[in-house]
Amino acid sequence: MIPIPRREFVHGLGFRMLGLGLSNLSALAGPRADAEGPAGFGRVKHCIFLFLYGGLRSLIRRERMTKRNVSTVFFATQVAVAMAILMAGSEDLRAQPLFTSQDLFISGHDNVNIYRIPSLIVSPKGTILAFCEARQGDDGDPTNLVLKRSLFEDPPSQPRNLNGYPRTFGYGVNWQSMQVVLAGKGEAIMQPCPVVDRTTGEILICCQEIRGGLANLLKNEWHGRCLILSSVDDGVTWSSPREITESVGHFAAGPGIGIQLKSGRLVIPGYSKDGARCIFSDDHGKTWRAGTPVKNKGCNESQVVELSDGSLLMNMRQGGRRRYVALSKDQGETWLKENNEESLPDPGCQASILRFPNRAAGARDLLLFANPPHPAPFEARTNLTVRLSDDDGQTWKASREVDPGPGAYSSLAVLADGSTIGLLYETGEKHPYEKIAFVRFNLEWLTTTPKSNTGN
């Protein structure tokens, strides 16, 4: 069930029918991007306070007149209605669990043999950008970097201004046709890892080009070139690739996404032959350099998140049965406190981690983590699950299965409404590489006990 905006809820109480001009209350309550979750109830209570205060002032003025009994009745009605909202608010105003799913890239479609390695970001304009590799045939064939961009509902359901652009919400319904961001032309374009520069509005992608296709990757992963592409028009068009191998060395990005720190630094996690590390830029992507790798040389595919205190947490794939994590106090330059994360079992697979801004004043931001949670071999890529932490990843107090079947690589993103989460992941009926699906859900779904064992 899609959450009911507070504006509709307040009108639904029939304030206009009372003839009291209470539509002003609903106007104060919405529309807002954050008006569909529990945190927004404080705004409604503030509106109710103003509403009662106005009624009290009106009552005091009217008490000086002869019709004091009538005005007293009016104010008593206001109090009764307001109290009804407050009493019901903690439950009725809470967003309902939301979960939708759709297949986005299906192997065999558009002359593509198999789609792999999903990556999901949201542009400054609010558009969802879903990237992946389009592997055209066997290992010796070229691999393209492809993209699908979201379309928005028409007519708009609830238009509002986002970063200076008019946008509506309800996406996940329609998508534009697949576009090729960078064609392999005999080479393999692999491991897309986009990052959004919120200062400039530019979208950048780091990827790896393996000459000779995937067959050469299996022989020598460090034979490739590290490339950067960029878009300044919301992902519609892309620049020619620019090689940065000389600056960062042989580096495989992600796979997944990069992040922009509060300081403005762009950080792209990944790995080299020496282990997991990050590359970063302090001039909006013009120049790049590499940080120090973690000490555990067995770590490779990685993702990074900025914690509440500004430190970085890198979450990595390794050969063991658990995820491996490390902290950085210098924005990804060096790493410390490396250890196995015992609470995050893993079969040796890529995973995704994301910071979800917490609206509660003074509270730590939430962390989301997604992977197939089995401490078993490579073949155990099933039961893709999302976990939630409210203490910067020290503990994971809530989790829910997204898909009971095959599931492997994934990518998380906070969608433009600020309360919905998007997840792009590999899945299928017999194996996890039959298609790439897009799901969207909210925290209410994630923290609600499922009614069946399907997770939905």
Give all domains of the chain, ordered by start, each with its CATH number. 6-92 (no CATH), 99-446 (2.120.10.10)
Listed range (33-37, 76-80, 407-411) with the worst mean pLDDT: 33-37
Query: Active-site residue among 115, 324, 409, 425?
Result: 409
Spatial contact of 116 and 104, defined as CB atoms under 8 Å apart: no
- Residue 69 has a pLDDT of 52
Residue 157 pLDDT > 90, yes or no?
no
Whether 271 is catalytic is: no
Three-state secondary structure call for residue 444:
helix
Query: Active-site residue among 139, 153, 282, 401?
Result: 139
| pTM across the whole model | 0.78
How far apart are the C-alpha atoms of 221 and 47, rounded to whole Å?
Answer: 60
Model confidence at 185, in pLDDT bands (50, 70, 90)?
Answer: confident
Average pLDDT of the residues in 224-228: 94
Model confidence at 77, in pLDDT bands (50, 70, 90)?
Answer: low
Residue 427 pLDDT > 50, yes or no?
yes
Residue 155: count of CB within 10 angstroms of its CB: 6
Spatial contact of 328 and 312, defined as CB atoms under 8 Å apart: yes
Dihedral of CA 405/411/417/420: which sign?
Answer: positive
Percent of the chain predicted with pLDDT > 70: 70
Distances (CA, A) of 198 to 2, 232, 234, 341: 29, 12, 12, 31
Residue 237 pLDDT > 80, yes or no?
yes
Listed range (52-56, 228-232, 261-265, 433-437) with the worst mean pLDDT: 52-56
Q: What is the DSSP string of 35-93?
A: TTSGGGHHHHHHHHHHHHHHHHHHHHHHHTSS-HHHHHHHHHHHHHHHHHHHHHHHHHT
Spatial contact of 196 and 166, defined as CB atoms under 8 Å apart: no
DSSP bridge partners of 204: 195, 230
Residues shown for the chain: 456
Query: Active-site residue among 133, 197, 209, 301?
Result: 301
- Residue 214 has a pLDDT of 65
Residue 4 pLDDT > 60, yes or no?
no
- Residue 158 has a pLDDT of 52
Q: How far is CA 287 from the centre of its chain?
A: 26
Listed range (34-38, 208-212, 306-310) with the worst mean pLDDT: 34-38
Whether 409 is catalytic is: yes
Average pLDDT of the residues in 51-79: 49
- Residue 249 has a pLDDT of 94
E strand or H helix at 246, and its extent? helix 245-248
Smallest Cα–Cα separation from 122: which of 354, 443, 365?
Answer: 354
- Residue 173 has a pLDDT of 57
Mean pLDDT of the chain: 80
Average pLDDT of the residues in 101-118: 95
Model confidence at 28, in pLDDT bands (50, 70, 90)?
Answer: very low
